[in-house]
Chain A
Amino acid sequence: MAGSGRAHLRDDRDDIVLRVEDLVVEFPAGRGRKVHAVSGVSFDVAAGETLGIVGESGCGKSTTGKAIMRLVPIAGGTVTFQDTEISSLSGRKLRELRQDLQMIFQDPVSSINPRRPIGDVVAEPLEIWGKSDGAEAVVDKVLTDVGLDPEIARPKRRHEFSGGQCQRICIARALVLDPDVIICDEPVSALDVSVQAQILNLLEDMKERYGLTLLFIAHDLAVVKNVSDRVAVMYLGKICEIASPDDLYHRPSHPYTAALLSAIPLPDPTVVPDTVALPGDLPSPLDPPSGCRFRTRCPRAGDRCTTEEPTVREIGPDHFVACHFPLVGEPAPPAGATPVEVGSGR
């Protein structure tokens, strides 16, 4: 997987809000070595759309989100937000831009200051931008919108709230400046299933009410599928496959996508759990494999995958894959069962 290329960018559309081209993020690891966190990722997000980014830990999905926010340095490529090239912005211009580009983090509890009352936490973005006039009314409105009673919530501190309520507060804080795009970095992975459903529903409601465009980053394909209009699968800093969620589920073309699908546990005792899970761990991003980065764990890898890196190409309407030997034309593996050919020759 693990391909570069820009075949999936929609140049013909004029409602693209966020466009990332050949994004590269590298971290120095000492002795001249580098962690190749994101290596040539491209995607675009249209207004009102939710783009899901899915992959294992260490695949670079969170780094991609942080790079767009400019929370980590960008080593190469461009990020265009509403016709502004933001990868070279700095100082005041960058900060001003963040009014329209907000982020929700994975751990809702640790992203709230424990010593400040919630009313202040949510009002802080308004204070910073000198919008304190009428701030109270705005704060009350967003708190109500996310399902909290402002009268009760405002004076309390974070330890008086559950994890799900803390995530509601974080969403309120992201909404208070009325942004255009929110980057959600694993917003539900620290929560229970029942609370997860509440937060996912809330995000859908807020998207509608505030006219948001979302970048939804998660490792659970079932969660991503539920909220997204388009899903990008990432592996070791590269894009593997990008398609509509239903297409991705019914016709996964990349062997990695098929493996991810089969790894999801199903709440049905009649389905025998997949016994041929994807073998091994993610290779080290310090020294990624040559050619296709997925080849070391791929059941379909051939010689060509070692020498030549696959580029993203279209294999169906709005369905793009970076693989030399995709699972095209084959029926979707029944969920929970062994994906086609995975395990053969093992």
Chain B
Amino acid sequence: MARRIVAGERSVEAPLLEVEDLSTHFRTPRGRVRAVDGVSFTLERGRTLGIVGESGSGKTVLSRSIMGLLPRTNVERTGTIRYEGTDISEYSQAEMREVWGPEMAMIFQDPMTSLNPVMKIGKQITESLRFHLDMPKGEANDLAVSLLRSVGIPEPAKRVKEYPHQLSGGMRQRVVIAIALACGPKLLFADEPTTALDVTVQAQILNLLDAQQRERFMAMVLVTHDLGVVAGRAHDIAVMYAGKIVEKASAKTLFASMRMPYTEALLESIPKLEYASHTRLASIPGRPPDLANPPKGCNFAPRCRYAQERCLEEEPELQAGADTGHVFACHYPVGTEAGAEALARNLARGFTPAQDEAEVSITQPAGSGA
């Protein structure tokens, strides 16, 4: 098997993954949909980046763009993706095939549909081992059994001969993880790996991913809509809204001193166990903008309780916060004087300047009294 990229001019000193100004636009009858719009980030070996946002914020399209898993027609992808220093953004499907498996792998959201229903589980795991690593059949089978054991499947020797429908949802997701880990990838994309699962199984799967990642010193991109899932598990967190990264920081910094009103609103909308029952939840009014026709100015302004006239005119650039690596895009950030003034002004007049576009009910942020 060809191993062109492995032999390429990749360097161990370069970061594992560098994404620069990545945009993915879909051409649709309604116009150009900017699903991912100018996203940049760097991921070092062995680190976990959590990507958080609502449905339609572009987080899945972002990970698919990096993996090269976009539809072939009516898509425009621009920007640079460097993997170990090599630009892979212009790679063809055939070249990407060498990357998938030993370099990057992906776990999809729905374990019910991401397995082939008419192929035995063992075969689905050994497929990539045989293709990428030229492994003899017997050796690949043995490795498949030990992979299944390492992802916590009981009686793995029996399971390799079974079909997906014979397993529960949690077990199927473990098989999907075993397939992704088979060739020992350096970078794993997990796209909402637990959304289709129960809380107890979710905890099992997240623990499993954690353990495998540490064992293999693998980098991971964990995509989810639940800030609770990434809080204790990601080193860095990027919050996406309308195709853009609107805030990025280390997990500790993000939760301790979040600046973007959207991050604050996302966190507040999670029902907390320690709340007394019948506590009214702070929801985000409205819904994400139409990406074919995004609003002028800040994309979040129509739903934001801090919004001022300026937010409707001028789009905020990403600016650096006090802590290293903390960036956010907001004119009136949470926890600053400007933000507090903006909120006080909106509370005093009872509406925000964006109210013609969407009804924004202004509520006090939790914890600020009143």
Residues of A within 8 A of B (CB): 56-57, 162-164, 192-198, 200-201, 204, 219-223, 225-229, 244-246, 249, 259-275, 277-279, 281-282, 335-336
Closest chain-B Cβ to A190's Cβ sits at a distance in Å of 10
Knowing A201-B281, A220-B199, A269-B231 touch, does A193 contact B273 (C-beta < 8 A)? no
Closest chain-B Cβ to A226's Cβ sits at a distance in Å of 4
Closest chain-B Cβ to A333's Cβ sits at a distance in Å of 11
Q: A246 contacts which of B204, B272, B276, B281 (Cβ < 8 Å)?
A: B276
Chain A residues with CB under 8 Å of B273's CB are 221-222, 225, 249, 261, 264, 335
Whether A192 lies near B54 (C-beta < 8 A) is yes
B217 contacts chain A at the CB level, 8 A cutoff: no
Whether A264 lies near B228 (C-beta < 8 A) is yes
Whether B271 lies near A200 (C-beta < 8 A) is yes
B225 contacts chain A at the CB level, 8 A cutoff: yes
Chain B residues with CB under 8 Å of A268's CB are 231-232, 255
Whether A275 lies near B207 (C-beta < 8 A) is yes
Q: B271 contacts which of A219, A226, A265, A281 (Cβ < 8 Å)?
A: A226
Whether A163 lies near B55 (C-beta < 8 A) is yes
Chain B residues with CB under 8 Å of A275's CB are 207
Can you list, as one digit per residue, whether each of B281-315 has a CB less than 8 Å from chain A (1) or not (0)?
11111010000000000000000000000000000
Q: B206 contacts which of A226, A265, A267, A281 (Cβ < 8 Å)?
A: A265
Q: A221 contacts which of B168, B170, B199, B227 (Cβ < 8 Å)?
A: B199
Chain B residues with CB under 8 Å of A259's CB are 200
Chain A residues with CB under 8 Å of B55's CB are 163, 192
Residue of B nearest to A265 (CB): B228
Q: B280 contacts which of A194, A201, A270 (Cβ < 8 Å)?
A: A201
CA distance A268 to B230 in the complex (A): 9
B133 contacts chain A at the CB level, 8 A cutoff: no
Q: A271 contacts which of B171, B232, B266, B281 (Cβ < 8 Å)?
A: B232
Q: A56 contacts which of B200, B229, B251, B285 (Cβ < 8 Å)?
A: B200
Chain B residues with CB under 8 Å of A267's CB are 227-228, 231, 255, 267, 270, 272
Whether B207 lies near A222 (C-beta < 8 A) is no
Knowing A195-B287, A246-B276 touch, does A263 contact B281 (C-beta < 8 A)? no
B45 contacts chain A at the CB level, 8 A cutoff: no
Number of interface residues of B (CB under 8 A): 49
CA distance A340 to B270 in the complex (A): 26
Q: A269 contacts which of B252, B266, B285 (Cβ < 8 Å)?
A: B252
CA distance A195 to B282 in the complex (A): 10
Residue of A192, A259, A282 with most chain B CB atoms under a 10 A cut-off = A192
Whether A278 lies near B200 (C-beta < 8 A) is yes
Q: A265 contacts which of B201, B226, B280 (Cβ < 8 Å)?
A: B226
Chain B residues with CB under 8 Å of A264's CB are 199, 228, 273
CA distance A267 to B254 in the complex (A): 11
Query: When A and B form their complex, what is the total count of cross-chain residue pairs whose Cβ atoms lie within 8 Å?
Result: 147
Residue of A nearest to B208 (CB): A277
Can you list, as one digit per residue, whether each of B168-186 has a CB less than 8 Å from chain A (1) or not (0)?
1111000000000000000
Whether B277 lies near A228 (C-beta < 8 A) is yes
B233 contacts chain A at the CB level, 8 A cutoff: yes
Residue of B207, B231, B276 with most chain A CB atoms under a 10 A cut-off = B231
Chain A residues with CB under 8 Å of B255's CB are 267-270
CA distance A163 to B210 in the complex (A): 32
Can you list, as one digit per residue, whether each of B74-99 has a CB less than 8 Å from chain A (1) or not (0)?
00000000000000000000000000
Knowing A194-B269, A227-B277, A266-B231 touch, does A164 contact B202 (C-beta < 8 A)? no
Chain B residues with CB under 8 Å of A278's CB are 200, 203-204
B274 contacts chain A at the CB level, 8 A cutoff: yes
Whether A194 lies near B232 (C-beta < 8 A) is no
Chain B residues with CB under 8 Å of A266's CB are 228, 231-232
Residues facing A in B195-243 (CB within 8 A) are 198-204, 206-207, 210, 225-229, 231-233
Closest chain-A Cβ to B193's Cβ sits at a distance in Å of 13
Whether B277 lies near A269 (C-beta < 8 A) is no
B265 contacts chain A at the CB level, 8 A cutoff: yes
Residues of B within 8 A of A (CB): 54-55, 168-171, 198-204, 206-207, 210, 225-229, 231-233, 251-252, 254-255, 265-267, 269-285, 287
Chain B residues with CB under 8 Å of A271's CB are 231-232
Whether B229 lies near A281 (C-beta < 8 A) is no
Q: B200 contacts which of A194, A225, A260 (Cβ < 8 Å)?
A: A260
Chain B residues with CB under 8 Å of A228's CB are 277
Chain B residues with CB under 8 Å of A164's CB are 287
Chain A residues with CB under 8 Å of B203's CB are 262-263, 265, 273-274, 277-278
Q: B233 contacts which of A225, A249, A273 (Cβ < 8 Å)?
A: A273
CA distance A57 to B283 in the complex (A): 27
Whether B231 lies near A265 (C-beta < 8 A) is yes
CA distance A168 to B156 in the complex (A): 45
Whether A200 lies near B226 (C-beta < 8 A) is no
Whether B200 lies near A196 (C-beta < 8 A) is no
Whether A269 lies near B170 (C-beta < 8 A) is no
Whether A277 lies near B200 (C-beta < 8 A) is yes
Whether B229 lies near A265 (C-beta < 8 A) is yes
Q: B226 contacts which of A193, A246, A270 (Cβ < 8 Å)?
A: A193
Whether B204 lies near A277 (C-beta < 8 A) is yes
The 3 A-B pairs at the shortest CB distance, nearest first, are namely A197-B283, A277-B203, A265-B228
Chain A residues with CB under 8 Å of B272's CB are 222, 267
Closest chain-A Cβ to B120's Cβ sits at a distance in Å of 20
Chain A residues with CB under 8 Å of B266's CB are 193-194
Chain A residues with CB under 8 Å of B275's CB are 225-226
Whether B170 lies near A281 (C-beta < 8 A) is yes
Chain B residues with CB under 8 Å of A263's CB are 199-200, 202-203
CA distance A53 to B47 in the complex (A): 39
Chain A residues with CB under 8 Å of B228's CB are 264-267
14 contacts between A and B (CB under 8 A): A56-B201, A57-B169, A164-B287, A193-B54, A193-B225, A194-B283, A198-B285, A222-B270, A222-B271, A269-B252, A269-B254, A277-B207, A279-B204, A281-B170
Residue of A nearest to B228 (CB): A265
CA distance A204 to B275 in the complex (A): 15
Closest chain-A Cβ to B112's Cβ sits at a distance in Å of 12
Whether B270 lies near A193 (C-beta < 8 A) is yes
